[in-house]
Amino acid sequence: MILPPATLGMLGGGQLGRFFVAAAHEMGYRVWVLDPDPHSPAALIADRHLLAAYEDYAALDELAQGCAAITTEFENVPADTLDYLNKFTIVRPAAAAVSVCQNRIAEKNFLRDHGLPHADFSAVHREQDLQEASDQLFPGILKVARFGYDGKGQAVVSSRAQALAAFQQFKGETCVLEQKLELDYEVSVVLARDEAGLVKSFPTAENSHRKGVLDVSLVPARASAELRAQAAELAARIADGLGYIGTLAVEFFVVRGQLLINEMAPRPHNSGHYTLDACISSQYEQQLRALCGLPLGEARAHSAAAMVNLLGDLWYESSPTGHRYREPDWSKLYAFPTLKLHLYGKHHARPGRKMGHFTVVDADPERTRELAMAARAAIGIFDAV
């Protein structure tokens, strides 16, 4: 076991890293953050900020020498960086697992090879691949294989011609063409797996999105107990297949009552924010426990929860001269006594940027949802969920 007051390393300085730093500090650890952004939210509260690129080997050497173990808060840290650091210190999750999640083609092939349910797909390396793709994949969604997130790098295509045009817009970048599905709804499972293979899953969340970005997560998901259990079982199979150590998130589509795996994230997840306020242990504490070889904490929820994302759009209001920047009136949220507000300390708000979230907790799931929707409207988010 790696025990406090050891120093841990974090690759990436966003809000997920910030929550990890906070959890580590509460448990007595120090944390160094490596991130190229001078204003990174995690670095603002870290014990040390290495302001460097993820391929800066001098900075990586310093991180490895100073840290007993290193983890990451987002999947696009180069796998080569993780491999390099692993020569000198503990790195979890491993580069091999992260590399599968970094590339949609590798991810889909992993699901297929392990007999896990997923939508039909085809890898697209060149225009000819689209010309030869099955008619069953149209209408479909063309997604870049790497670095796409929150709806970015995706295009809905109803025909082969539209797919070819979208592929050209993506400048011929390798893509995946997936069959477009009529969804009942979406769910996700966040779990932790330790080095002995023990898995602890948090309750399955039901998710809704706006403009490709997670908007609301409800826990427990409004699904049958059987479906929630099946989602947890499938997520655990993925973690086992990857030999994963750490916190992992798996997103699912529910189509005609059946689960299909959409994608996985080798890190804590936006839809797991609720664990901070509604569970015995948070997803960030579990990430730390798995990293340090500690026994995993209890993942059980003690309350129902509804989490609402706060995007940068809230910081702007319409005026006759355009859009005026202003801080939202947080008193409207603090008026709800069972609401927990989390702001990420980001340097500047811009439309679509995740700036914070709030979680409402209550014993009754339906009351939790109703309170969260009322708070959501009070702060200025009015469209229906």
Is 150 marked as binding a ligand? yes
CB 353 within 8 A of CB 289: no
200 assigned ligand-binding residue: no
Residue 354's contacts (CB-CB under 8 Å, 6 or more residues apart) are 15, 213, 270, 309, 310, 311, 312, 344
Q: Does the annotation flag 186 for ligand binding? A: yes
Greatest distance between any 2 Cα atoms in the chain: 61
The verdict on whether residue 143 carries a ligand-binding annotation is yes
Q: Is 209 annotated as a binding residue?
A: yes
SS (H, E, C) 48-66: EEECCCCCCHHHHHHHHHH
Q: What is the C-alpha separation between 264 and 110, in angstroms, rounded?
A: 11
C-alpha 219/C-alpha 368 separation (Å) is 9
- Asked whether residue 179 is marked as a ligand-binding residue, the answer is yes
CA distance 61 to 236: 34
Please give the structure tokens belonging to residue 227: 């479906």
The first and second tokens of residue 251, run together, are 């997103």
Annotated ligand binding at 65? The verdict is no
- Eight-state DSSP code of residue 272: G
Contact 133, 179 (CB under 8 A): no
Ligand-binding annotation for 241, yes or no, is: no
Ramachandran area for residue 115 (φ above 0: left; ψ -120 to 50: alpha; else beta): left
- 104 annotated among ligand-binding-site residues: yes
Residue 45: enclosing H or E segment and its boundaries? helix 41-45
No. of helices (H) and no. of strands (E), the chain = 13, 20
246 annotated to a ligand binding site = no
Q: Is 116 helix (H, G, I), strand (E, B) or coil?
A: coil
Strand partners, 264: 250
Q: Does 148 appear as a known binding residue?
A: yes
Residue with tokens 């602890």: 200
Which segments are annotated as binding site? 104, 143, 148-154, 178-181, 186, 209, 262-263
Residues that constitute the known binding site for ATP: 104, 143, 148-154, 178-181, 186, 209, 262-263
